[in-house]
Structure 1
């Protein structure tokens, strides 16, 4: 929804125009001094617009989300932009009747970017934008276009750490979609189950709130090895299908990072399976974002401690990584 509105929105917001230039340069194979020049200008212009805003214009909001996109792709700090925009939007967010369709779209993108499961080494607290402002909005059906995920599945991800359990993911009924989408969504659903188990393993976490009582010993055969295998199988099927039908959905493989990363964190499963490690490496060879994600996984594999937090690795490196 952003592309056809860009000329009008750039006239509304000089920050968006400058951010678009920085974003385009960020897609190059390597970041050049010219990128950093434009990126610094975009940050200054955006912060200036933000400081002067009482009600955030769509153009400024779009600029902030594109700045977040640059940060999450390259490991720069970026969640503070969500915090800054939310502080201004807060007074008007609870009035859905005043929202345009495009503003609702921008809020959904902001809500997905705020998901804790999609941020590694997060430097600001989660705001809960999706649960507070998007989960109640209509239409609840359909697919959120930036994440590529059904809104009903995003509702479950938003509830991780609150009320979502393994049972919630097992019971998710799915959503109408083509074969490529079904591969992707199944990988995400299974990754959500692994995320609950991984969070329960961390020191200080209460396992009872994360693991469904339904999963009693012997009641469910889907241990971590099976889940990782099924995630990788779905992602590999997605890769092969995209190669066979390259014009069908040119962006869908961009959404692979979260399930692939979650599968890669299952160190105990991957240790005796170098072929699966090799498969994960083969998926992550395309972009700077892929390189950073793979470097975090390689470090976790080297440490060989399933109870160590990958957020600590990211924080040691001073990066804030996004999985979108």
Structure 2
């Protein structure tokens, strides 16, 4: 009597499926051959059940597919070491020789930003560049998103086809920038000048040294015909020179390591129209009328409080007028108290700084601060509303807010003013605007407020931390 067939757990897959005994012959069983059925063999098969994998390279995935593997959170020692090696490799590629003065101190810190903490693929580069084209460019100027006077936007439509190669071109631009700066008589082309200004912008936003780049570019420009009027250069070239002039404005940098060059005063001043009240004449990076920038360029070089007080204004929208009023009043405070003067400039006669105040009845410091902060409050409230989403004027408020924050004596008498300054900087640093620069500025002010008035210079605090910040 034959033995009933039993289900085998070690047979071929065909016999298992049909619940019959398998002779386990290799490579195919004879039972399947006799029946004329294709034997499916004995290979091990893994079945993916319901749930999420807890081990192996599919850890955290809900399906055995590469696309289902979730991004691994940074934190494992192995991941951190791998990421550190990759970032050091990138740092080596952009490192500059010690004699060129182009190496930014703290480059490694910059490369450790969250932006580079993931494993980037070409599609990430494309998405990143698309974000820059749509919104990232908006952090580089202080007017509106739809301002037709932004020279860089004219050149952007030609770039979308190059999105995936953006970082290759960016690296090439930095290499070319270093090469031309090393040759003091070389011509500084627009692309190279743009790369240098971009380096400065990165430094300003991160608080790392950047004025050495300005000095390097200035040395080259001096050997060229930079003294030509704006009518003799292209609009884009004129824009780049103005941006460089804004970055070099007196009192517009904290912890500056290199002295002011006087670039705007020498090469960009008096380029505005004769009647600024009838024509739009705003420099897009700072968001200020050129006629007002002209006065700031002469701070500590002959400008007085009366010059700011008598400034006739310029044509603009309501929020722009609020911003310009805040800057005008901040300029008066800077000249009156000299709070943002570099340590090397503090040997003048304080009586001369107050001379213009005695010549006419100008507002008191407390009144100026109140009026200045009321303008800032109006700008912040309008920018926070849905109707103000297209305005970028909020990018330009660090200078007047910081100048007001340095008036320790007035703030001690009215703590509400200090609390407002703290609240406005924290809101922009952490809110929907998110700007690291404002957090650094607030940290400097918090330490400055712990000292009695006139006992320490704000630049000394910044330099002790190795910080070099811009106020634009």
Task: Tell me the TM-score normalized by structure 2.
Answer: 0.59
Q: Distance in 2 between matches of 1:279 and 1:116?
A: 26
Check conservation: 1:161, 1:210, Cα contact below 8 A.
Answer: no
1:94 is matched with which residue: 227, 232, 236? 227
Question: What is the aligned counterpart of 1:48 among 163, 166, 179?
Answer: 179
- 1:259 is matched with 400
Distance 1:190 1:20, change over 3 A: farther
- Shift in Å, 1:109: 0.6
1:120 aligns with 2:261: no
Deviations 1:63-100 (A, max 9, x none): 11111111111111101111111111112201225410
CA deviation after TM superposition for structure 1 residue 206, in Å:
1.8
* More helix, by proportion: 1
1:35 maps to: none
Judge conservation of contact 1:20–1:66 (CA < 8 Å) in 2.
Answer: no
Could you tell me which residue of structure 1 aligns to residue 155 of structure 2? Answer: 5
Provide the residue aligned with 1:171 in structure 2: 310
Aligned to 1:204: 347
- The match for 1:308 among 436, 450, 456 is 456
Moved more, 164-173 or 269-278: 269-278
Deviations 1:166-197 (A, max 9, x none): 11011111111111001100000000000002
Q: 2:196 touches 2:217 (CA, 8 Å); kept in 1?
A: yes
How many residue pairs get aligned? The number is 300
Correspondence for 2:288: 149
Alignment partners' CA distance in 1, 2:253 and 2:356:
28
Q: Secondary structure of 1:159's partner?
A: coil
Look up the SS of the partner of 2:348 in the other structure: coil
Q: Residue 297 of structure 1: which of 440, 445, 448 is its match?
A: 445
User: Is the counterpart of residue 282 in structure 1 residue 282 in structure 2?
Assistant: no
Q: Summarize the Cα distance change of 1:5–1:56 in structure 2 as closer, same or farther, 3 Å threshold.
A: same
Give unmatched runs, 5+ long, in structure 2: 1-150, 430-434
Aligned to 1:62: 194
8 A contact 1:50–1:60 mirrored in 2? no
1:230 is aligned to 371
Paired with 1:150 and 1:308, the residues of 2 have a C-alpha distance of 33
User: Relative to 1, partners in 2 of residues 1:294 and 1:42: Cα closer, same or farther, differing over 3 Å?
Assistant: farther
Q: CA deviation at 1:307?
A: 4.5
SS at match of 1:303: coil
Q: Is 1:270 the counterpart of 2:404 in the alignment?
A: no
How many Å apart are 1:117 and its aligned residue?
1.2
CA-based RMSD of the aligned residues comes to 2.8
Q: Does 1:184 find its partner at 2:323? A: yes
- The question of 1:131 aligning with 2:265 is answered yes
Q: 1:80 aligns with which of 182, 201, 212?
A: 212
Note if 1:106 corresponds to 2:240.
Answer: yes
Residues of 2 paired with 1:17 and 1:79: CA distance? 25
Structure 1: 4+ residue segments shifted above 6 A? 7-11
Does structure 1 retain, via aligned residues, the 8 Å contact 2:211–2:258? yes
Counterparts in 2 of 1:317 and 1:200: CA distance versus 1, 3 Å: closer
CA contact (8 A) 1:165 1:196 kept: yes
Alpha-carbon shift at residue 122 of structure 1 (Å): 0.6
Task: Name structure 1 gaps, 5 residues minimum.
Answer: 22-37
Q: Relative to structure 1, is the Cα distance of residues 210 and 43 closer, same or farther in structure 2, using a 3 angstrom cutoff?
A: farther
- Larger Rg belongs to: 2
Pair 1:179–1:136, CA change in 2 (3 A): closer
